[in-house]
A and B are shown apart, each in its own frame.
Chain A
Amino acid sequence: MTEFLQLTVYGIVLGSIVSLGAIGLSLIYGILRFPHFAHGDYATLGAYLTLAVVQGVSVSTLVALPVGLVGTALAAIAIDQMLYRRLRRVAPVILLIASVGVALILRSLIQIIWGPSNQVYETGITMPYRVGGVNVSPDHIVIFLGALVLMVALHLFLQKTKMGKAMRAMSDNADLAQVTGIRVNTVIIWTWIIGGGLAAASGIFLGMDTRLHPVMGWRVLLPVFAAAILGGIGRPYGAVVGGLIIGLAQEYSTVAIPPSYKPAVAFAIMVVMLVVRPTGLFAGRKA
């Protein structure tokens, strides 16, 4: 029972990280109509930008976090305007190929600048709290609460602001949205701000939970895709649920199979979902 609760804690932490990535991926997929394969590397970028601030002016990770979010969002806009915008007229799969290229460019740039080895934000051991035999580290609480705050902020943005409504409209039906006079390019820029910012947050939290490494984001891309598909493409709320399911399933699976196969669990869930219900739990865009 204690083991189950412990895995639940790990699962929720991992789920929060995956969800943050999946929200942006799902929105970008819904609005720009291509699976953004560089999303994991945007997360890596956010994590390393934050590391640069943490090391540069020696502040705590949470203080540096906004810099990582803003920096990644700006990079996302720049890449979109320089590259993706020129390719939007052609087939969406060309954007897909381009994003694979962006993923490799970002990863190698990060490796050139910050080196190929593992790094951490803060050294030293923090004692975990023990609650009924279950270990909960302070970082876990920060990650969970941080993800919660960002998700609530996103919810308010999507529901209360005009831009949020425009984004949901674009995601539901782009043609209809354009007819009503929504400015497409502005919506796309906002999509990158939110997608890039949330990806950065997931990368930073992943770095707090484990370590920073140039391929850290690429490694979580598969679970993030699984979460986005599970929740339904273009459904940010679905992505949150999908992320939690994937996170919990990956942690619970370690009871039965070697932990190195964790990504395979996410993949298996995704394949089952694609076969049984390709629109996802929350009836997103049909496959």
Chain B
Amino acid sequence: MAGILDYTIFSLCFVGIYGLLALGLNVQWGMTGLFNIGVAAFFAIGAYTSGILTTPPSEAHWGGFGLPVPVGLLGAMAASAVLAVLVGLVTLNLRADYLAIATIGIAEIIRLVMKTETSVTGGVRGMPDVPRPLTWIEGVSFELTFLILIAAVVAVVYLVLEVARRAAWGRVLRSIRENEPSALAAGKNVLAFRIQAFVVGSAVMGLAGGLYAHFISFISPEAFKPMLATFLVWVMLIAGGSGNNKGALLGALVIWGIWSASEMVTGLLPGALATQAGAVRILLIGVLLEIILVTRPEGMLSEAGERLRGIRKESRRDHQG
């Protein structure tokens, strides 16, 4: 029984990390229509930055600054944001599909740097001893402490993004997504808003990366199978309902559940196929994505549905008042 509870807590921590990634992607794709397939790159930059800032001195890689974890997480967000500004300035006034191609290039180069620049990242041997936060709290397991921490972070990010979505800023982003010329005609600086959305989303992904590093305490290029992480986040957002922050979180929960369940199912495969379990799981998730795209492209919690509920609530209030 205790084992199941531990596993659930451990899984929920991952749901939180992936939930942050999905929220970040929702700012970029869901709200603004920016196509980022380099999610893993921003995630990895965040993880390594936080790792370099907080690890004790080491011969094997850069860093050894031994700074507190919150500084590392802020650094992770900052580094991810800087990368986003650089990518954004070059590609964001181009079409959405060109941004997609550019972000895949970024992801590939970050992957190469992680593997090749051994003196910076520790190369394939990875970066051990990333400090775990809040270990001084006694009486509860680290996983549970971390789950509470990550739940708090997710709640804050969700609330901030939800306020931003309802504010004028969010409306401008949606108008750019729906009809760029009309946003331009309304006097909006489209490029500036796009860069803002791209940077905000990427900073959230960087934060997720930093949290991941401090949770697992070890990072290596293997942890960032670029297409797998990116692809899972995309499936989460689309399944949950892109454009809808609640949907992004729900998608993270459901898809992570399916992803974990698929591990149990593939564990039952006969010997020869068992070694291919990873491939079978990716195959299943891929097919699931195509089914969602064909049958219910708006996701479980659609953006339009959210807006309808908002309108109904307002009209009820008007009737009562």
Binding site for B on A (CB under 8 A): 34-35, 37, 83, 86-87, 90, 92-94, 96-98, 100-105, 107-109, 111-112, 115-116, 218, 221-222, 225, 229, 258, 260-261, 263-264, 267, 270-271, 274-275, 278, 287
17 pairs, CB–CB < 8 Å, chain A vs chain B: A83-B294, A98-B293, A101-B290, A101-B293, A103-B227, A104-B283, A104-B285, A105-B283, A105-B287, A107-B279, A108-B286, A109-B279, A111-B279, A112-B279, A264-B108, A274-B91, A287-B98
Question: With a CB–CB cut-off of 8 A, which chain B residues contact A115?
Answer: 276
Whether the pair A96, B283 counts as a contact (CB closer than 8 A) is no
B95 at interface by CB-CB < 8 Å: yes
**Which of these binds chain A: B50-58, B99-107, B248-256, B310-318?**
B99-107
Q: Are B116 and A97 in contact (CB under 8 A)?
A: no
6 shortest interchain CB distances as A-B pairs: A267-B105, A105-B286, A108-B279, A108-B283, A111-B279, A101-B289
State the main secondary structure of chain A at its contact with B.
helix
Contact B276 A112 (CB under 8 A): yes
Interface residue B90 (Cβ < 8 Å from any Cβ of A): yes
Establish whether residues B287 and A97, one from each chain, have CB atoms under 8 Å apart when the complex forms.
no
Enumerate chain B interface residues (CB-CB to A < 8 A). Answer: 33, 35, 37, 90-91, 94-98, 100-102, 104-105, 108-109, 112, 115-116, 227, 231, 234, 238, 273, 276, 278-280, 282-283, 285-287, 289-290, 293-294, 297
Once the chains bind, are A270 and B105 in contact (CB under 8 Å)?
yes
A109 to B279, CA, bound (A): 7
Q: Kindly state the separation between the CA atoms of A108 and B98 in the bound complex, as whole angstroms.
A: 26
Q: If the complex has contacts A87-B294, A274-B102, are A109 and B283 also in contact, measured as CB distance less than 8 A? A: yes
Cβ contact of A275, chosen from B90, B278, B282, cutoff 8 A: B90
Assuming A86-B294, A274-B90, A274-B91, is B227 touching A104 (CB within 8 A)? yes
Query: What distance in Å separates the Cβ of A284 from its nearest Cβ neighbour in chain B?
Result: 12
Residues of A within 8 A of B279 (CB): 107-109, 111-112, 116
Cα of A44 to Cα of B121 in the assembled complex, Å: 31
Chain B residues lying within 8 Å of A116, measured Cβ to Cβ, are 276, 279
B4 to chain A, nearest CB (A): 29
- Residues in A with CB closer than 8 Å to B97 are 34-35, 92-93, 96
* A222 interface neighbour in B35, B108, B285, Cβ under 8 Å: B108
Tell whether A97 pairs with B234 under 8 Å between CB atoms, given A105-B283, A112-B279, A287-B94.
yes
- Which chain B residues lie closer than 8 Å to A100 at the CB level? 37, 231, 234
**B108, B116, B280, B297: the one within 8 Å of A112 (CB):** B280
Are B227's CB and A93's CB within 8 A? no
Bound complex: CA of A32 vs CA of B52, how far in Å? 45
Say yes or no: B116 contacts A83, CB within 8 Å.
no
**What are the residues of chain A within 8 A of B282 when measuring CB–CB?**
104-105, 107-108
Determine the chain A residues whose CB is within 8 A of the CB of B35 once the complex forms. Answer: 93, 96
Q: Which residues of A contact B286 (CB under 8 A)?
A: 101-102, 104-105, 108
A108 surroundings in chain B (CB, below 8 A): 278-280, 282-283, 286
A274 adjacent to B94 (CB under 8 Å): yes
Contact in complex: A271, B109 (CB < 8 Å): no
Bound form: Cα–Cα A93–B238 in Å: 12
Is A271 touching B105 in the complex (CB atoms < 8 A)? yes
Question: Other CB < 8 Å A-B pairs besides A104-B285, A116-B276, 8 of them?
Answer: A37-B37, A93-B96, A97-B234, A101-B293, A104-B286, A261-B109, A274-B98, A287-B95
